[in-house]
Amino acid sequence: MFRFLLTRLAAAAVAALLSSLAVFLLMRAVPGDIVSQMLGQSGNDRTAEEALRGFFGLDRPIWAQFGDWLGATLSGDLGRSWYQGRAVTMLVWDAFLVTAEIAVATLVIATLVGVPLGVLAGIREGTRTDAAIQAFNLLGLSAPVFWIGLMLLVGASAWLEWSPPFAYMPPGLDLAENLNIMILPVLSLSLLQAAAYSHFVRDTMVAELRKEYVRAAIAKGLTPRQIYFKHALRNILIPLVTFVGLILIQILGGAVVIESLFSLPGLGRLILSGIQGRDYPVVQGALLFVVLVALSVNLVIDLLYGLIDPRLRP
Amino acid sequence: MPGARLRLVAGLAALFFTAAPALADDALVYGKSDPAAKAGGKVAVGSLIEPPSLDPFLQGADARIRVTGLMYQGLFFEDQTGVARPLLASGFEVSPDARTYTFKLRRGVKFHTGQTMSSADVKYSYDWLRDSKNGSPGAGDLSSVTEIAAPDANTVVFKLSRGNAALPMTLTNKYGAVVPKGYFDAKDASTKFNEASVGTGPYKLKVFRPNSILVLEKNKGYWQKGLPYIDEITFVTMPNSAAMVVALQNRRIDLALFSRPQDTEQLKTVPGVEVKRWPSLNQKTIDLDVKYGPLKDVRVRQAIALAVDKAAIMKASIAGYGTVIGTIVIGMQDGWGVPIDQLPNQKVDIDRAKKLMAEAGFADGFDIDLTTIIGYDWMDAASVTVAEQLKRIGIRVNIKKIELGVWIRNFRAREMGFTFNDWGTTPDPSLLYYRHFRAAPQGADFRNWNNAKASELLDRGQEEADPVKRKAIYAEFQKLLAEEAVSIMMFSADLITGQRDRLKNYNQHATGWYFGLIKAWLAN
Amino acid sequence: MKRVAGLLREIFATPLQILCAVLLALFAVLVLVPGLIAPQSPYAIDVARALQPPSARHWFGTDDVGRDLFSRVIHGTRITLGLVAGALLASAVVGGLLGLLAGYFGRAADLVFGRLVDMILTFPPVIAGVVITGVLGPGARNLILALAVVYIPMFFRIARSGALAERQRTYVEAARALGFGETSIMLRQVLPNVLPLILLQYVILFPLALQIEAALGFLGLGVAPPSPDWGAILEQGKNFILTAWWMSLWPGLFLLASAFAVMVLGRTLQQRFDRR
């Protein structure tokens, strides 16, 4: 187990390092840096340009710049935003809290809706209920998240004469207002994820119910209820764990688009505005964070697998 | 709406004709006061753009200037009529050769920190601004300043290497401001602007939460007695104009500035919301890099100018809510412009354009990339329209949409190609033209024009102190500009505000900045 | 002929699958001959008719410069679906070949490609797409590049595990004994056996890639105007979402329908595959 953990950690570290390097090079490979943005359409003042470039360390060789960044990062310092001057760790953390709220709320709603639907469809395999739920699942999976958001916005405005406030409010300051802001984005993401859940649970359930032990249980005279809840459901827990992890990562991605539609200051907006403003430390820091979150989720899944079922240890 | 347009133009003309030399008429700083005004209340303003930082010395972006103009002040106020009104200065004298400006400072002005402002602070701030090592885009405008002296606590003297009639207008609120002496001694001074304001303006910074809100609070020790009226202003960053429309409808915000008038169409029927149009100092242009492919040939540029139907583009991109222009922004047309019918290459003439194309050897036309910038909504519709129009003279336009950062980089590197541009100005012809069209190294000459005649005119225009002679110089320059077609200035879009009716006496400044909030008030 | 008919009957058995077949046929027509369905130009501007709601003349209404939205959405089918199909094809070729190499030859190739793929996989797909198109700038070329890069790992993994499994088979041993070269075995014997897996993966990934393509378009990172790409129409429509909802409704519905059809197809194929 320990060796397994170690190999996984090493692979994750290599992946994180490589992706950081890729982001670092990609950002610097394209034209237009922060200096030209700051000077804008003003004169071609070489002195100002060089002074600013020197200030941001952009005049140094690219490997030295990466070395500096890596060194500082390893000691826990992601630097400061070139525009705002705030520490990148603070910016990323604040943004993460917003995205995390969306992700957790989505996960909860999607689970509450998706799992029962999936179980129901799985139990009633081949019936009309099953077909209807399957159709819902496929539709939910096909709909672009941001489009659902747009349509919810239209619907709320046309029929309820209500619109979200747009100015983000942290839950700690005013919970009611925070919920007002979060409801539409979370709903739009939840539809997709509930469909994904339900789809997954249904298929696993169907596969499980076809297995030998279920037939044996029926032969032993167990009631269907006992079979569903004692055996089948328990056995789909393991794949479900993986699935939750994948969904979390997916929500992180979906949140980028949703945040920009509903003007939420989450990780996606931070990355997007960082890219547009060529605020390198912010982009690098935020992406490193996202990568680490994704890697840890995957690692936890692997570990859980190992714990639940020792046969799966490589 | 034609009635409104007429009134608007008439009003502007009246303002220009009364534009007397700078008088310390304090009542007119920041616009007209409302005798019925009452103090108190909080206002929310929706905005599509947000300043990346609040350092008034860095960045030339409107997003920053719009709000820092409420917290920080320069020596003058850029009255939209084209007059620089004394702000932190109370008056000035200029030597006959326009090389020495002596500014008297207003007394009793306090910084947000509580310190009293003196000439040492003014000297410090402008010395910081003009030193290009500090990276301010405003440094270039002050390159002719050789020395700033502070002979006594209330006097500051600027010495110039050559005359500059535009100096007062340069010392307004776009770049730089007066901050306490020694402010930049701290290593993280630039960052500190985002945490606390240190200006002299009517509002102080309360909270700045990036990607979300910016809250300003009334400066109780402000030097203009009784101002401002509103206690607190919250700027809310919104995702798109549809969101601003909804927010106005639902009373979530009281004021929003729209970049595209068609977005406000549905607000017209909403009770309690008023949509208003204001003249602007902004212009939408097609810029032509004189070193770029077929554009090298002046006949090709003229042909393009002759094939472009400015009115149609304006109609498509901003539903016609603006004014077609010749060679100057509409706000300055009466004061400094040449009537369009006296300028060459302004009327659509496809036959002549085709003839010019043939003479230049492009009888069969050519392919060209037209660059537009992401985030500038009007460019989408305009680019499609321009492509259709140029097709008539055989030019096949391929639209290339790029990011602002990349665009600015190309622009600054003088590799703009064939592109749309959207720029505003402080209302002085030298500030409008010099940087863009004066040959290097004095100007930036972004379009690689390198025209000796134009440079000579721009130099003379900057140094000439007599307003009448100055106007004649700029008229000659504009005719040259239109003849050479290096920048096809198409139209100035009106500024459109949507306001809840409880917000009174808000007058939108022609720059698009929020100065109007200083004399606005809230009725309950 | 009989076998094909049998296969088709099996694939399109349930109502859902029949709906999918109808939709697929419809989209095929729209891709091949959009002009037949929507004769009006998707580019012609008519400012006087801007932002008109759906009517007999303009079935889907008009956009902010008066272009006919029905034409735009119909003509956008080829662009949107073609872009995704092309990007995924590039992804399948590159990812498939690398996976084949890594799986069949193992060792160095496996290590190097494996790390590269891990690196791409560390980013959630949408974020990777946003970073690539955001940094390189929007436009069809970069959009295709971004989508292709994002999905390389999926094809890589499938091809790699397929090749790993095939490598052990007796027919490979037999080929080796007959004196075939390794590369030739890989391409002639292993590849045909891995190909169905890759094709299946292609169909499964298609709806996901389509959604990312639309999302990037919506963020303004997609194809440049005046192209009637669905994501681009949605991006343009978001500023008019409350006044002109039709600008957002139709392209979204078409996205939904096409993703749905391909998804049902993928599911059906997968089930067939699993049963074998």
Across A204-213, average pLDDT = 81
Mean pLDDT of chain C: 88
Residue C248 is encoded by which pair of tokens?
């957002």
Across B352-363, average pLDDT = 95
Across B408-418, average pLDDT = 87
Can you give the residue ranges of every domain in chain B? 10-30+49-195, 284-493
- In the prediction, which pLDDT does B3 show? 36
User: CA B402, B403, B407 angle in degrees (round to 5)?
Assistant: 75
ipTM of the complex: 0.90
The three-class DSSP label of residue B326 is coil
Q: In which residue are the tokens 């108190």 written? A: B40
pLDDT tier at B135 (50, 70, 90 boundaries)? confident
Residue of B nearest to C239 (CA): B242
With 80 as the cut, is the pLDDT of residue C7 above it? no
Across C220-234, average pLDDT = 87
C-alpha distances (whole Å) from C85 to each of B420, C27, C31, C92, C147 are: 33, 13, 12, 10, 10
- In the prediction, which pLDDT does A43 show? 57
Q: Which CATH number fits domain B10-30+49-195: 3.30.450.20, 3.90.76.10, 3.90.550.10, 3.30.590.10?
A: 3.90.76.10
How far apart (Å, rounded) are the C-alpha atoms in residues C215 and C203? 19
A 5-44 near C (Cβ less than 8 A): 11, 14-16, 18-19, 22-23, 26-27, 29-30
C-alpha distances (whole Å) from C98 to each of B89, C102, C116, C164, C165 are: 71, 6, 11, 13, 16
Nearest to A257 among C120, C126, C260 (CB): C126
By mean pLDDT, which of A222-226, B5-9, B417-421, C64-68 is the weakest? B5-9
State whether A252 and C116 contact (CB < 8 Å).
no
State whether B262 and C241 contact (CB < 8 Å).
no
By mean pLDDT, which of A290-294, B229-233, B448-452, C103-107 is the weakest? C103-107
Could you say which DSSP state residue B26 is in? G
**pLDDT digit string, tens, across residues B154-198:** 999 999 998 888 899 999 988 889 999 999 998 888 888 999 999
In b/e form, how buried is each residue of C187-218, taking b as 16+ CB within 10 angstroms?
Answer: eebbbeebeebbebbbbbbbbbbbbbbbbbbb
Nearest to B242 among C43, C139, C239 (CB): C239
With 70 as the cut, is the pLDDT of residue B21 above it? no
Mean pLDDT of chain A: 85
Residue C220's H or E segment, with its range, is none
State the nearest Cα–Cα gap between C117 and chain A, in angstroms: 9
A59 near A53, Cβ under 8 Å?
yes
With 50 as the cut, is the pLDDT of residue B7 above it? no
B278 near B80, Cβ under 8 Å?
no
Across C219-228, average pLDDT = 83
- In the prediction, which pLDDT does B14 show? 37
- In the prediction, which pLDDT does C11 show? 65
In b/e form, how buried is each residue of B303-340, taking b as 16+ CB within 10 angstroms?
Answer: bbbbbbbbebbbbbbbbbbbbbbbbbbbbbbbbbbbee
Spatial CA neighbour of B410 closest among A31, C178, C157: A31
In b/e form, how buried is each residue of B212-249, taking b as 16+ CB within 10 angstroms?
Answer: bbbbbbbbeebbbeebbbbbebbbbbbbbbbbbbbbbb
With 60 as the cut, is the pLDDT of residue A314 above it? no
B177 near B125, Cβ under 8 Å?
yes
pLDDT tier at A309 (50, 70, 90 boundaries)? low
Could you say which DSSP state residue C68 is in? B
List all chains that touch chain B, counting a touch as 3 or more CB pairs closer than 8 Å: A, C
List all chains that touch chain A, counting a touch as 3 or more CB pairs closer than 8 Å: B, C
Put simply, whether the predicted model's pTM sits higher than 0.95 gets the answer no
Residues of B whose CB is below 8 A from C240 = 242, 262-263
CA atoms in the 13 A half-sphere facing the CB of B208: 22
Q: Largest alpha-carbon pair distance within chain A? A: 87
**pLDDT digit string, tens, across residues C147-202:** 999 999 999 999 998 888 888 787 878 888 888 888 888 888 888 888 999 999 99
Would you call the peptide bond into C226 cis, given omega within 30 degrees of 0 as the criterion? yes
List beta partners, residue B156.
Answer: B103
Residues of B whose CB is below 8 A from A35 = 135
With 90 as the cut, is the pLDDT of residue C49 above it? no
Nearest to A30 among C136, C260, C264 (CB): C136
With a pLDDT cut of 70, the percent of chain C lying above it is 97
| Chain B, chain C: beta-carbon pairs less than 8 Å apart | 70
Residue-by-residue DSSP string for B448-463: ----HHHHHHHHHHHH
Spatial CA neighbour of A14 closest among C102, C127, C122, C126: C122
- Return the amino acid letter for A250: Q
pLDDT tier at C236 (50, 70, 90 boundaries)? confident
Spatial CA neighbour of B78 closest among B186, B171, B197, B182: B171
Class of domain B284-493: alpha beta
CA atoms in the 13 A half-sphere facing the CB of A23: 34
| Burial label, B151 (beta-carbon count in 10 A; 0-12, 13-18, 19+) | exposed
Instruction: Tabulate helix, strand, coil % of chain B (nearest 5).
Output: 35, 25, 40
Across B467-488, average pLDDT = 94
Residue-by-residue DSSP string for B55-117: -TTS---HHHHHHHHHH---SEEEETTTEEEESSEEEEEE-TTS-EEEEEEPSS-B-TTSPBP
